[in-house]
Structure 1
């Protein structure tokens, strides 16, 4: 048994949050959820938190434990104390999920979370389901492509830690885009082209900053960032550079690195922001920056290719060939 102080961030609605400490004698194997249950049953019946299955299935007990989002029924005291083994006295902090309004204590309002999920239309299209003669059967290989994203339990951990959600209120979030990829990869769906067009925006995949926080905290190894990257691959394979600045940014970055081993910054800004003189407002926005760089001697007047350009080019070719093969496989299953 070990004596542990549980510091819980408590608040009600818009009130100022305050920390409240509870002392428990627990075993190392005791889960955080069982510890919260004991606090509520033995010390403070007013403490509010969500729970249900207690078996990492429902996602109800997601909260921030020692600064990261996790399932309280999955994490135990020993694991948490080992993360901070240098503590003078054993202590575990518990807070509500981030990026969501707090209703009370550890209970958050999930409406924005569900609203953003609904925005990506995470359902097989009705037209694709209209097969009156027989049910729509999938091969084991086609079904296997849905396994990883199908493991999502909608716990909200990825949404809580998402830096893009924190700064861009229009971004739908990693949970929604992981579900969106499930529709893109599902060969029963016939709306792939329109879906990719829908997700091709700053509210969609281009709003992701690739911080990898969602992958780090996902308790079910759904890897939302990986699914977002796969949607991007589908968009890039179908869209040309004129469709958006985000598309140009990605394609020009790869093209210039492939060309010279690293980015020629002069061409990058001109090709992406100014769209090679086709975007007049973009070109105008570059002028003040260019003048400041010239004045400070930071505008490169020449470009020296990297000594490893040949190796870099071969690596990019190999990755692009692999991505093209993966896309062909997805298209053939659709």
Structure 2
């Protein structure tokens, strides 16, 4: 079948543009196969990264039809089917009712949150720098027993399995909304690797690592939980879930007075437990105002409160939601399970 590939072209410090190439392809051809053919048969100046061709090295990360993926993993047939599903969802039509284009198009662009060097090749220096910032390697404790290997139980080793699958392709970093607006945030890839160190029984720096990952919005509290990193990860590492597990380790060791981020999480859970949903009046006072202990925080709430009053959006009373007892029971059950697991 004939397919048009609309490919982002750009040299460093020049404006971007799209260039189209038409190929006769099979549904099972990978996107990387198609890029290779374009480079070999039509345009030798096209630049992109590749290496293993087998979803191992992570080199060929790029945006395919708007989401970051590995070109060696995605194929033409699955991409066209996904586009049809997206169109159906946007138009509330059955996918079978959507008429195919005369010649379907696949758009390919470089990954996000990193500057373009040329075409589909991006500068990943910030990606590597942020990875290095979390010190993603086991501490020197293992070197104190040189006469034997450092043994782990199967259960201890199994805690590392998922994060060990990360191939550092950059897909999660590319799609990270938090990284896009906050240049201090280290990114989901780094924090997924950070969790591996927290969970590793051979490491003896757990406490200092958690202090480091707890620093403002450059650590775990910078994550907005948008789920994009989980959605695009080709190896099912689920970086957002790993970030959540680091947060749980921090929360187990800290109280509400340690930081606003910790108060935010603990107060939110307690208010939901009390009323089934959040009493916004108490939430602002307890989190930002630290229950009247933070004067600057209280003052900062003034303009927002005034705008809410003027707009008729300030709740003068709070009504618990239906099913509050069930919500409370669920929260307590989850806490009991976590305590047993620990």
User: In which range does the TM-score fall when normalised by the shorter chain?
Assistant: over 0.9
Structure 1 residue 324: deviation in Å?
A: 2.6
Give the 3-state SS of the residue equivalent to 1:64 in structure 2.
strand
Which segments of 5 or more consecutive residues in structure 1 lack a partner in the other structure? 329-334
**In structure 1, C-alpha distance between the alignment counterparts of 2:239 and 2:121, rounded to whole Å:** 24
What number of residue pairs does the alignment pair up?
Answer: 326
Partner of 1:289: 304
- TM normalised by structure 2 equals 0.93
**In structure 2, C-alpha distance between the alignment counterparts of 1:197 and 1:168, rounded to whole Å:** 20
Partner of 1:227: 242
Structure 1 residue 93: deviation in Å?
A: 0.6
Which segments of 5 or more consecutive residues in structure 2 lack a partner in the other structure? 85-97
The answer to whether 1:93 aligns with 2:107 is yes
Contact 2:111 2:120 survives alignment (8 Å): yes
The two structures, once aligned, show a CA RMSD in angstroms of 1.1
Q: CA 1:148 to 1:94, structure 2 compared with 1: closer, same or farther past 3 Å?
A: same
Partner of 1:124: 138
Write out per-residue CA displacement over residues 86-117 of structure 1, whole angstroms, 9 at most, x where no aligned residue. Answer: 44121111101111010000000010000000
**In structure 2, C-alpha distance between the alignment counterparts of 1:84 and 1:286, rounded to whole Å:** 45
Q: Give matches, 1:272-287, under 5 Å.
A: 272-287=287-302
Write out per-residue CA displacement over residues 105-159 of structure 1, whole angstroms, 9 at most, x where no aligned residue. Answer: 0000010000000011101111354223422101111111101000000000010
- TM normalised by structure 1 equals 0.95
**Aligned counterpart in structure 1 of residue 231 of structure 2, from 216, 222, 227:** 216
Structure 1 residue 269: deviation in Å?
A: 0.4
**In structure 1, C-alpha distance between the alignment counterparts of 2:166 and 2:322, rounded to whole Å:** 44
Partner of 1:263: 278
Partner of 2:10: 11
Give the 3-state SS of the residue equivalent to 1:242 in structure 2.
coil
Partner of 1:241: 256
Contact 1:129 1:188 survives alignment (8 Å): no
Contact 2:141 2:202 survives alignment (8 Å): no
Partner of 1:331: none
Contact 2:142 2:150 survives alignment (8 Å): no
**In structure 1, C-alpha distance between the alignment counterparts of 2:240 and 2:183, rounded to whole Å:** 18
Contact 2:2 2:25 survives alignment (8 Å): yes
Give the 3-state SS of the residue equivalent to 1:263 in structure 2.
coil
Write out per-residue CA displacement over residues 279-325 of structure 1, whole angstroms, 9 at most, x where no aligned residue. Answer: 11101001122222223332222222223111110000011122233
Partner of 1:69: 68
The answer to whether 1:316 aligns with 2:324 is no
Contact 2:110 2:121 survives alignment (8 Å): yes
Give the 3-state SS of the residue equivalent to 2:257 in structure 1.
helix
**Aligned counterpart in structure 2 of residue 115 of structure 1, from 112, 116, 129:** 129
The answer to whether 1:40 aligns with 2:39 is yes
Contact 1:174 1:214 survives alignment (8 Å): yes
The answer to whether 1:206 aligns with 2:221 is yes
**In structure 1, C-alpha distance between the alignment counterparts of 2:104 and 2:316, rounded to whole Å:** 58
My pick for the range that moved more, 26-35 or 127-136, is 127-136
Partner of 1:54: 53
Contact 1:233 1:323 survives alignment (8 Å): no
